[in-house]
Amino acid sequence: DHLYKRFAERLAQLEEAEGAFDYFTLSYRSFGIQRRSDNGLVLREWAPGAEVIFLTGDFSKCHHAETSLSYIQAQTLLNGQIYEAKYKRFIVSKETGECLFRISPWAKHVTKTLDSVTYDWTHWDPPQPYQFQHPRPPRPSSLRIYEAHVGISSPEEKIASYKNFTRDVLPRIKDLAHQFTTKTTHSLSLSRFGTPGDLKHLVDAAHSMGITVLLDMVHSHASSNTEDGLNYFDGTDSCFFHGCSRGNHSLWGSRLFNYSSWEVVRFLLSNLRWWMEEYHFDGFRFDAVTSMLYHHHGIGTSFSGNYSEYFGIHVDEDALVYLMLVNHILHKLYPQCITVAEDVSGMPGLCRSIEEGGLGFDYRLTMAVPDKWIQVLKEVRDEDWDLENIVHTLTNRRRGEASITYAESHDQALVGDKSLAFWLMDKEMYTNMSALIAMTPVIDRGIQLHKLIRLLTHSLGGEGYLNFMGNEFGHPEWLDFPRKGNNESYYYARRQFNLVDIEHLRYRQLYSFDHDMNLTEDKYGWLAAGQAAVTTLNQADKVIVFERSNLLFIFNFHPCNSYIDYRVAVEHAGKYKIKLNSDKLQYGGHGRLVQDTVFFTEPMPFNGRAQSFLVSFISITTFHS
C-alpha cells in the first residue's frame, strides 16, 4: 500500500535521525526556554527566516542569540527566581531586515489582561510544581462524552475557572456517568481559566473519580495572529505553513500547516506529548480533520460516498501520513489513549488500524445526525416525520469503524442556531417550566420529544455518545461569547446549572432521565455492542423497534396514538422487564405504564425473529389533536 509505505518511511526517518520517535516527540524539553542545572537558561528556536534573534523581557537588557543554519540557540545567565517572568522574542528578518516581536512557539504559558488584545508569554517555572496523585483510569468500554467549555461552566456572568469546574461540574459529570472533553475557543485562552497547576488539579481530580479527560486539539489550521501566534514567526509566511495561497484557508482566514516539513511535524507531535506528559490527558478530539485530508479542505465539496472522492490527487497525503504518525505514536506510548476525528467526509479507513491501511483513529464524529434532528424540527410536523429517513441517518456509517453520535453539540447551542430544547419549547421555556402548574401542550411535546430524540440517538446511532454541557437538562438559552455585538456581555456565556437544583422546575426532570439513560447504558453496554437490529419500522404507526445488547428498544413517536397488544419481535426467548421508561413521572412523563410489568415471549415467528410478544405503549403526549 502506497500510503502505508510513506508512513513507514517517515517513521523510520524519525527513528534514525533522532534516536527514536520518543525522543523526537519530546522536543518541548529542548526547544524554547529550558532551565539549566546552574539556574541559567538555554534558549532554542527553529527560525530559518531570522538573521538574528534576541530575548527581551522582565530584565534590564536584551540577550543576543547567534544563528546556526536554521536553528537559533543561545545561553543567558538569568539567575535567581524567574517564576512568571514575561518574555518576547525580538527577531530581525533576513529577508526584509524588519524587527519583529514574537512569542516563542514553544511557550508553555501565556496570559492576557482584559484591556489587551494580545497575549503575553509568561515563563511558568514554579518552585513546587504540581504533583499528580491519581493514575489515569482504565480506558472505558463505552464512551459517553460530556463536552464542556471551562470558561462558561458557571451560572454567574463571568469567566469561570478551573477551580470552579473542579468543584462544581466534575461531580455532575460523574453523576451522569460520562467521560469529559474540555473544549476551548482558542488554545491560548486556556490560561484565562487559571494557572497550569489549576488545570493539572482538574485532570487529577477527574481521574480520582474515574473520569477520562480528552482535550479538543486543533492541528488542522492555526490563527493568523502574528504577535502572539505562529504566523510570520520568523518574518516569512512559510516557517510553519505552506507559503503563498496554499498556506491560507480561504473561508476561515487561518493558516495551514505544512505537514511535509520535518520541524512542523516535530512541533505538532511534541505538542501532543506535552499535553499527555505534563497534564496527563487521556486523549484528543481532533478538530476539522476534513480540512486536513484534502487539498480542497472540503470547501464546496459534497461527499456522496463514491470512492473517487477519497482517493486521488485531491487528497493531501502529507496530512494523512502525519495523522498516521499521530495515532501510531500516541497508541504505542499510551495504550489507553483515545483519539477522535471530526470528519464530515466519511473517509474510508479513518478509524481502521494503520496495519490495515487505515489512519488509526479510535472514533469519528457522525455529524450528519444533529443536522437531521434540526432539519426535522424546523421543517416537518411531528406526525409527518419520515422515520425511515431518520433511522437511515442514524445507522448510515462505515461498518467496522467506531462512531460517536450526538443529537446536538456546541454547534447547535451557539447563538444563531438553536438547541433541541429551544426548537421544541422556546416560546414557553421562560414561563411554563414549573412542575407546580399543569403542562401546556408545547411543554409536554417538548419534554417528551427531547427524551426520545436523545435516547434514540444514544441507542441506535453509534459506538459512542456525546452531550454538550447543559443540553442534558434542556438549557434554556443559546451560547454567545462576549463581543462588540453584544456589548461584551457574559449573560449568554454561562451554563445555568442552578436550574437543575430547583426541585419544582422541569429541567430537573430532563436531567433525571438523562442520568438514568446513561446509567442504564453503563449497566448493559449497548454502545460497545454491535449494530442494532431494527425489526419494526412502521411509518404509519410511528413505531421503531430494535434489539441491541440483549435489550429491546421500543419507540412510539406518534403524537397522540397509544397502542394495546402491539406485537414486537425478539431473538431470545424468556421474560422481559421494563428497564427505562420515559413516561415515568420523575422524568416529566405521565405515569401511564406499570413499571414492574413482566412480558413473556411466545414461540411465534415475527419480523424475522423466532420469538415475539405483545406489549402496550403510549403516545408521546396526553394531548390529542
So where are the chain's domains? 28-122, 533-617
- Strand 32-35 and strand 63-68: the pairing is unpaired
User: Does 66 qualify as catalytic in the annotation?
Assistant: no
Residue 82, pLDDT > 70, answer no
Q: What is the pTM of this model?
A: 0.93
Where is pLDDT greater, at 124 or 214? 214
- Res 189: pLDDT: 56
pLDDT tens per residue across span 184-193: 444 445 678 9
CATH number, span 28-122: 2.60.40.10
Burial of 284 (0-12, 13-18, 19+ CB in 10 A): buried
Q: Are 527 and 450 in contact (CB under 8 A)?
A: no
- Res 64: pLDDT: 47
Q: Are 574 and 567 in contact (CB under 8 A)?
A: no
Query: Picking from 186-195, 323-332, 593-602, which range would have the lowest pLDDT averaged per residue?
Result: 186-195
Q: Could you check whether 28-122 and 533-617 share the same CATH topology?
A: yes
- Smallest Cα–Cα separation from 562: which of 615, 489, 524, 503? 615
Residue 80, pLDDT > 60, answer no
Q: What is the mean pLDDT of the chain?
A: 90
- Res 182: pLDDT: 66
Residue 121, pLDDT > 50, answer yes
- Res 190: pLDDT: 66
- Res 83: pLDDT: 56
User: How does DSSP assign 325-376, residue by residue?
Assistant: HHHHHHHHH-TT-EEEE--SS--TTTTS-GGGTS---SEEEETHHHHHHHHH
Burial of 390 (0-12, 13-18, 19+ CB in 10 A): buried
User: Does 228 qualify as catalytic in the annotation?
Assistant: no
Query: Picking from 82-91, 467-476, 527-536, 570-579, which range would have the lowest pLDDT averaged per residue?
Result: 82-91
Q: What is the arrangement of strands in the sheet containing 533-538, beginning at the earlier edge strand?
A: 533-538, 543-548, 551-556
Residue 305, pLDDT > 90, answer no
- Res 84: pLDDT: 63
Mean pLDDT, residues 305-333 taken together: 95
Query: Picking from 161-165, 257-261, 395-399, 461-465, which range would have the lowest pLDDT averaged per residue?
Result: 395-399
Residue 614, pLDDT > 80, answer yes
Residue 270, pLDDT > 80, answer yes
Where is pLDDT greater, at 84 or 216? 216
Mean pLDDT, residues 189-210 taken together: 90
Residue 66, pLDDT > 70, answer no
Domain 533-617 CATH superfamily? Golgi alpha-mannosidase II (2.60.40.1180)
Query: Picking from 199-208, 298-307, 420-429, 589-598, which range would have the lowest pLDDT averaged per residue?
Result: 298-307
Query: For residues 390 and 396, what is the distance between their CA atoms, to the nearest angstrom?
Result: 10
- Res 119: pLDDT: 86
- Res 77: pLDDT: 42
Catalytic residue among 147, 228, 282, 342: 342
User: How does DSSP assign 495-546, residue by residue?
Assistant: --GGGTT-TTBTHHHHHHHHHHHHHHHHHH-STTS---EEEEEETTTTEEEE
- Res 91: pLDDT: 87
- Smallest Cα–Cα separation from 473: which of 513, 444, 445? 513
Query: Picking from 63-77, 370-384, 385-399, which range would have the lowest pLDDT averaged per residue?
Result: 63-77
Q: Are 11 and 21 in contact (CB under 8 A)?
A: yes
Q: Is 476 left (phi over 0), alpha (psi -120 to 50) or beta?
A: alpha
Catalytic residue among 227, 287, 417, 541: 287
- Smallest Cα–Cα separation from 468: which of 370, 334, 363, 596? 370
Residue 303, pLDDT > 80, answer yes
At 335, list the grid cell.
495504550
pLDDT tens per residue across span 437-455: 999 999 999 999 999 999 9
